[in-house]
């Protein structure tokens, strides 16, 4: 074990603050990564502030982790000291169930091991995430990073990138399709970039008039500012696929009505309270309302390689770690352009 420093929430209403804790030394198949940057996901906020059930305190969030390998176990094959490495939302799974065997570890039937706030098989406690100086992860859950991209701006690909890439691949988004992206935050802005790179026509739905120009620059072909139902009417029945990345309660029915026959709305945003679905919106047109959780490890690697090839990174605002509470408050006001990334050099070592 070694002492590591991080930033933790001690309770649902306490701001995150420095916290020392123990990490395991790397075992035979483990990689120890010095964390250089960590993205700030809205899921970190939902968890740290106890908006979803089950947060164990102290809670150290962070699952968009990039850094350099500083120690490897004796049996590690894919990484050596000094390599760039990334860790996303999972650090383990059972590896034997039907989902794991299919490379869908996120849907592991016994539950994947989340990067934070999940039972830790090694320590018996819970896992601690990337708002910290270092992390130790089995190499099977460590990603190789493209060398040609800005490292800090790669961090958000590990959650926001894969969470938008995976459903678009599953539902075969591509040329000839019109795709709606709802909510221009961390996930939404990656969704626009990836849908555009996959060759679809992209319609961005945002509540923020101020983001109109950015949406076009990010790759949208059309932007709809969704204040009032009139704005959406021209798009009724026109969309093949919608990715909804909104973090708060909102009227899902207004979007279901925009789908073509047999179109699919995939919910990736995870508001804490239930959304109300008017079923006639599904019945009329055999439309589908679906969900999707991050992506498997092989698919995450595929997404990173895709982003390397297409020069895709997140648009980031770098922050020192002591600004993370302020970043959470800004995230709640939809004031993110378009992902906060923590510069881990600003966290004092233990």
Partner from Zn ion, ligand NAP, none binding residue 282, C-beta < 5-8 Å depending on class? none
Q: Which is nearer to Zn ion, 93 or 177 (CB)?
A: 93
Q: Which is nearer to Zn ion, 159 or 254 (CB)?
A: 159
For residue 212, what are its two tokens?
């109109």
Helix (H) / strand (E) element for 42: namely helix 42-48
Chain positions 26 to 45 lying near Zn ion, rule: CB under 5 A, are: 41, 43
Q: Indicate the length of the chain as a whole number.
A: 350
Q: How far apart are CA 253 and CA 333, in angstroms?
A: 23
Whether residue 58 contacts residue 103, with contact meaning beta carbons closer than 8 Å, is answered with: no
Closest contact distance (angstroms) between CB of 348 and ligand NAP is 27
Q: Which is nearer to ligand NAP, 132 or 163 (CB)?
A: 163
Closest contact distance (angstroms) between CB of 203 and ligand NAP is 13
Pick the binder of Zn ion from 4, 9, 65, 108 (CB under 5 A).
108
Q: Which is nearer to Zn ion, 43 or 313 (CB)?
A: 43
Q: What is the DSSP letter of 236?
A: T
Residues that bind ligand NAP (CB under 6 A): 41-43, 46, 159-160, 163, 183-188, 206-208, 211, 245-248, 250, 268-270, 292-294, 331, 334, 336
- Using CB under 5 A as the binding rule, whether residue 155 contacts Zn ion is answered as no
- Using CB under 5 A as the binding rule, whether residue 341 contacts Zn ion is answered as no
Chain positions 224 to 283 lying near Zn ion, rule: CB under 5 A, are: none
Number of H helices, E strands in the chain: 10, 16
Partner from Zn ion, ligand NAP, none binding residue 91, C-beta < 5-8 Å depending on class? none
Closest contact distance (angstroms) between CB of 122 and ligand NAP is 24
Closest contact distance (angstroms) between CB of 170 and Zn ion is 18
Residue 137: name the closest of 152, 120, 151, 162 by CA. 120
Partner from Zn ion, ligand NAP, none binding residue 307, C-beta < 5-8 Å depending on class? none
Partner from Zn ion, ligand NAP, none binding residue 108, C-beta < 5-8 Å depending on class? Zn ion
Residue 167: name the closest of 267, 283, 37, 249 by CA. 267
Partner from ligand NAP, Zn ion, none binding residue 250, C-beta < 5-8 Å depending on class? ligand NAP
DSSP E strands in the chain: the ranges are 2-8, 17-23, 30-39, 65-72, 84-87, 90-92, 113-114, 134-138, 178-182, 201-206, 222-225, 239-244, 259-267, 288-291, 316-320, 339-343
Instruction: Count the neighbouring beta carbons within 10 Å of the beta carbon of residue 277.
Output: 13
For residue 118, what are its two tokens?
């999940």
User: 349 by DSSP, 3-state: which?
Assistant: coil
């Amino acid at each position: 074990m070694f002492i590591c420093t991080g930033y933790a929430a001690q309770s649902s209403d306490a701001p995150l603050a420095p916290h020392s804790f123990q990490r395991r030394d790397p075992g035979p198949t483990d990689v120890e990564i010095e964390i250089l940057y960590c993205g700030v996901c809205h899921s970190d906020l939902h968890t740290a502030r106890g908006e979803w059930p089950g947060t164990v305190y102290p809670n150290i969030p962070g699952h968009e982790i990039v850094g350099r390998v500083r120690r490897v176990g004796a049996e590690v094959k894919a990484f050596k000291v000094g390599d760039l490495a990334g860790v996303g939302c999972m650090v383990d799974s059972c590896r034997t169930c039907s989902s794991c065997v299919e490379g869908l570890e996120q849907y592991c039937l016994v539950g994947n091991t989340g990067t934070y706030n999940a039972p830790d098989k090694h320590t018996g406690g819970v896992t601690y995430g990337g708002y910290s100086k270092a992390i130790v992860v089995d190499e099977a859950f460590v990603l190789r990073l493209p060398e040609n991209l800005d490292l800090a701006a790669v961090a958000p690909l590990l959650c926001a990138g894969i969470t938008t890439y995976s459903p678009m691949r599953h539902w075969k988004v591509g040329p000839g399709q019109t795709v709606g992206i709802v909510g221009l935050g961390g996930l939404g802005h990656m969704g626009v970039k990836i849908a555009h790179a996959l060759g679809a026509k992209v319609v961005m739905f945002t509540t923020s008039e101020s983001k109109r120009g950015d949406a076009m620059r990010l790759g949208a072909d059309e932007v709809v500012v969704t204040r009032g139902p009139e704005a959406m009417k021209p798009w009724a029945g026109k969309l093949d696929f919608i990715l909804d990345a909104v973090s708060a309660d909102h009227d899902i029915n207004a979007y279901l009505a925009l789908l073509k026959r047999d179109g699919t709305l995939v919910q990736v945003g995870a508001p804490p309270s239930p959304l109300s679905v008017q079923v006639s919106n599904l019945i009329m047109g055999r439309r589908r309302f679906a969900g999707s959780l991050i992506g498997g490890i092989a698919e995450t690697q595929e997404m990173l390689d895709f982003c390397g090839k297409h020069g895709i990174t997140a648009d980031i605002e770098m922050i020192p770690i002591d600004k993370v509470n302020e970043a959470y408050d800004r995230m709640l006001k939809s004031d993110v352009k378009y992902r906060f990334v923590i510069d881990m050099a600003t966290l004092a070592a233990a």
